[in-house]
Amino acid sequence: MSNTSQCRVCGGTVHEFFDFGRQPLSDAFLAPGSDLGQEFFFRLATGLCEACTMVQLMEEVPRDRMFHEEYPYYSSGSAYMRDHFEGLAKRLLATELTGEDPFIVEVGCNDGVMLRALAEAGVRHLGVEPSGGVADLAAEKGIRVRKSFFEESTAKEILAAEGHADVIYAANTLCHIPYIGSVLSGVAALLAPTGVFVFEDPYLSDIVERTSFDQIYDEHFFFFTVRSVGAMAAAHGLELVDVERLPVHGGEVRYTLAPAGSRQPSAAVAELLAEEDARGLGETATLRRFGENVLKIREDLTALLRRLRDEGRSVVGYGATAKSATVTNLCGIGPDLVSFVCDSTPTKQGRLTPGTHIPVRTPEDFARPYPDYALLFAWNHAEEIMAKEQEFRDAGGKWILYVPDVRIV
């Protein structure tokens, strides 16, 4: 009998379909010389709820272990993502934030890249961000920030102080929150009767289709679909009224929820739901095939890296992403196969990757000298990175990719 747990959305039974094994915290980069034996590990496994079809992790990592003062991810670190968020801000100004005194709340505002554009337009706003370091960066940009986790009690305090929100927004945040029932109860309380809750997160269909298994790590607790989000919304007096496919982060969907009955759902909701049903996203057999594809990638990637090592070729990693922890730990990729990883985030530089302890260096080290091969962990920014690193290609360097399969380009 497979392992089971209780669904954090509907209380139904979740059946496990893939076990990634022992994994560390994906953003817990270690200082050399520290007690590496004190690393926190947990069992990373995924399951499907038989009732609401929500795919989720089987085990929860305490939130304060993941989101804290030294949280190292910055939303503004990518020019492409800055353009993405600034474009959304302009759209909201033209559509939802048009009243006399519009108010927007962003859940997990990070360093304020989206809210900054709205603040400059004079829109009343509030970011809610539990990771103190990035919250301070947002405040330095003139963003109003509350350092806390967003839940029902937080929402009611904001409501009492600020009134209803016309828009509540979250990007790559909602899927991180196991206590999602409290969040949605808070959204329902804080949202104006004509308001919308807009959030965007990795899309299960893209993860399955592309075998982008590295989207599964400690911070990503839920993996949304139209069907599971619709069921989740209905349980809290909300309704899914629009969906939009997004190319960012390897494939996401932007979901729009509104108070039930307040808006007519768009045709896109039914269309994407029909696509999901045709692909069997709510079926265990589909997800088990995904697991088989993950194991094939592990086999191919480790074989390639070992061959290159035995041939005396130099290989470095590019992008010390959170999701790279899943790849390196599942595949057993350490400094013997990848000598170091280049990353532009200052708080990661000079440290070691979680679990496998590969050194993290600055982007400048990438060309001192160029390696023979670069394993692109930040594959979702491949176009931007490869354009920036054209000299690597000109020098004869080659990229190694592993989504949707292992290949050299």
CB-based contacts of 7, cutoff 8 Å, min separation 6:
13, 14, 49, 51, 52, 54, 56
Average pLDDT over residues 18-34: 91
Domain carrying residue 98: 75-285
142 in a structural domain: yes
User: Any idea what the CATH number is for the domain that residue 80 is in?
Assistant: 3.40.50.150
Residues 344-352 have a mean pLDDT of: 93
Report if residue 115 sits inside a domain: yes
- Read off the pLDDT of residues 89-139 as tens digits, 9 standing for 90 and up: 999 999 999 999 999 999 999 888 899 999 999 999 999 998 777 888 888
What pTM value is reported for the model?
0.92
Q: Give, for 375, the enclosing helix (H) or strand (E).
A: strand 373-376
pLDDT value at residue 1: 41
197 occurs within a structural domain: yes
Task: Identify the pLDDT of residue 225.
Answer: 98
Is 133 inside any structural domain? Answer: yes
* pLDDT above 70: residue 345: yes
Rg (CA), the chain: 21
Q: Check residue 122 and give its pLDDT.
A: 95
The pLDDT of residue 338 is 98
98 lies in a domain? yes
Q: What percent of the chain has pLDDT over 90?
A: 84
Is 208 inside a domain boundary? yes
For residues 332 and 335, give the distance between their C-alpha atoms in angstroms, rounded to a whole number. 10
Q: Is 183 contained in some domain?
A: yes
Whether residue 30 is contained in a domain is answered as no
Of 152 and 71, the structure prediction assigns the larger pLDDT to 152
**Cβ proximity of 229 and 203 under 8 Å:** no
How many domains does the chain divide into? 1
Q: Strand pairing of 4-6 and 13-24? A: antiparallel
When the pLDDT of each residue in the chain is averaged and rounded to a whole number, the result is 93
Q: How confident is the model at residue 170 (pLDDT cuts 50, 70, 90)?
A: very high
Q: What is the pairing mode between strands 315-318 and 4-6?
A: unpaired
Are 124 and 102 in contact by the 8 Å Cβ rule? The answer is yes
- Provide the percentage of residues in the chain whose pLDDT is more than 70: 95
pLDDT digits (tens, 9 = 90+) for 350-367: 999 999 999 999 999 999
